[in-house]
Amino acid sequence: MRSAPTILHLDMDAFYASVEQASKPSLRGKAVIVGGLGPRGVVATASYEARVLGVHSAMPMSQARRLAPNAAYLVPRFALYRSISDQVMALLRALSPLVEPLSLDEAFVDLEAGGTAWDERSARLVGAKLRADIRAVTGLTGSVGLAASKMLAKIASEQAKPDGLVVIEPGTERAMLEPMPVRTLPGVGPATGDHLRRAGIHTVGEIAEAGEDELVRLLGKAHGHALYAMALARDDRPVVAERETKSVSVEDTYDVDIHDRVRVGTEVARLADRCVRRLRGAGLSGRTIVLKVRRYDFSTLTRSETLRGPTDDPAVVREAAARLLDSVDTTGGVRLLGVGVSGLADYTQEDLFAQAAGSAGEEAAGEGEEPEPASEARPEVSAERRWPAGCDVRHAEYGHGWVQGSGLGRVTVRFETPVSAPGRVKTFRVDDPALEVAEPLPLVEGVR
């Protein structure tokens, strides 16, 4: 562990929900819940106003609706979240070459490696400026923790929430950790926490007092050693700039179990095409095709097939996924399907043949994303489902707005923009030709 608090942990505050509040003036200061809106949906993020009502991420959406019946329930807009995340990550990379993203809204930064901080004072100044820059560029808030290790920096950012900055000065770590509950430490989930509680261990200080041998006896060798080290504030893990992608996958959970075998096959083909688009977007290919099936009784099956060489051909992936599906019994119904590709490479077998023929450049010049085959399009859905709650729309007369809800052949839209006052509400037929899906607007005027 280093001698200055030069490892920074950034955690954007209630990221998805905060983006929605920033883009929708009428929702600011109100309970907002983002996630799957179907009967089996789960909460992705809840605003702080919803959290005080007991709603939290990973909670079943049905339970969230009981706790917060008057909240705004919105579907995620991942393309928008990714674009804002890219803006935030660019600010972090301006501070240091060592940035370790953990998700769209969370990352570690080694400030010492970037020469931007070397002691407590310089680190605090960098953290304060970062928070101001994030607000200026995105209109959002982030919480910053600074410490001498990754574990402590993450704990500090949790203490800083929401919209704060906490610095843990070297030499104070043990005293700070001792009164904290055991669940504060990374890797201590409900099961481990209960196990420790039954042994009379409730705080991080009591973990240290119990001793390494007792922890190994209680939790096993690997977990016991690691937990004892964390309780003593020992963490020498470096910030890793690039994490190697091991697989690319997509999956869908269905509101109603799928029993029709033809529909299951159609869904698998559609997922295979989505997976390949994501694969190509990352400039990758893969050798192993993986099919995931969760059946009506929650049993989950995975099947895989390894090809002779890496591919990013949608037809090849579709055919392999279809062969894997043939080995799975779906007669009782299917609630989730997924298709993935692993054994990744940054070339395809076809590329190798092209290079051998001296024509790799010609091959690359003709590449483009293939459209989905018409025969494998999704089954037709009702008109109401074309307007998911929260999506951006534009009306020929009223301008930009977002969908508050739809049903019974009608769609209700609130017309407002990120820089306007709360807007008025209008209801239209779902097939109104003046209403169309729109791209999200920038959260900050003049910043894209």
Summarised one tens digit per residue, pLDDT across range 213-246 is: 999 998 888 888 989 999 999 999 999 886 666 7
Condensed to tens digits (0 to 9), the pLDDT of residues 369-427 reads 333 333 333 333 343 447 999 999 999 999 999 999 998 899 999 999 999 999 999 99
Alpha helices per DSSP H over 25-149: 48-51, 61-67, 78-93, 120-138
Q: What positions carry a catalytic annotation?
A: 106
Kindly indicate the confidence band of residue 355, based on its pLDDT and cuts at 50, 70 and 90: very low
Condensed to tens digits (0 to 9), the pLDDT of residues 43-66 reads 999 999 999 999 998 899 999 999
Check pLDDT > 90 for residue 324. yes
What span, in angstroms and rounded, lies between the C-alpha atoms of 264 and 306? 22
Nearest residue to 22 (alpha-carbon basis) of 84, 103, 65: 84
- Mean predicted lDDT score pLDDT of the chain: 87
pLDDT at 218: 87
Share of the chain above pLDDT 90, in %: 65
Check pLDDT > 90 for residue 11. yes
pLDDT at 190: 82
Check pLDDT > 80 for residue 443. yes
What span, in angstroms and rounded, lies between the C-alpha atoms of 62 and 35? 11
Kindly indicate the confidence band of residue 364, based on its pLDDT and cuts at 50, 70 and 90: very low
What span, in angstroms and rounded, lies between the C-alpha atoms of 433 and 379? 23
What span, in angstroms and rounded, lies between the C-alpha atoms of 157 and 164? 8
Nearest residue to 68 (alpha-carbon basis) of 11, 17, 143, 140: 17
What span, in angstroms and rounded, lies between the C-alpha atoms of 19 and 222? 40
**Alpha-carbon separation of residue 154 from 79, 86, 229 (angstroms):** 26, 21, 16
Sequence-ordered list of residues with C-beta below 8 angstroms from that of 186, at least 6 positions apart, any chain:
151, 154, 230
Check pLDDT > 70 for residue 359. no
* 433: three-class secondary structure by DSSP: coil
Share of the chain above pLDDT 70, in %: 89
Kindly indicate the confidence band of residue 137, based on its pLDDT and cuts at 50, 70 and 90: very high
Kindly indicate the confidence band of residue 436, based on its pLDDT and cuts at 50, 70 and 90: very high
Average pLDDT of span 132-157: 96
What is the separation, in whole angstroms, between the first and last Cα of the chain?
39
Check pLDDT > 70 for residue 439. yes
* 312: three-class secondary structure by DSSP: coil
pLDDT at 447: 67
Q: With beta carbons less than 8 A apart as the criterion, state whether 227 and 284 touch.
A: no
Q: At what angle do helices 261-281 and 314-326 cross, to 10 degrees?
A: 140
pLDDT at 448: 63
User: What is the b/e burial string over 39-52, where b = at least 16 CB atoms within 10 angstroms of the residue's CB?
Assistant: eebbbbbbbbbbbe
Check pLDDT > 70 for residue 346. no
In sign, the C-alpha dihedral spanning 30, 80, 404, 421 is positive
Condensed to tens digits (0 to 9), the pLDDT of residues 184-209 reads 988 788 888 888 999 999 999 999 99
Condensed to tens digits (0 to 9), the pLDDT of residues 247-287 reads 889 998 887 889 999 999 999 999 999 999 988 887 788 99
Put simply, whether the predicted model's pTM sits higher than 0.85 gets the answer no
What span, in angstroms and rounded, lies between the C-alpha atoms of 171 and 120? 12
pLDDT at 398: 96
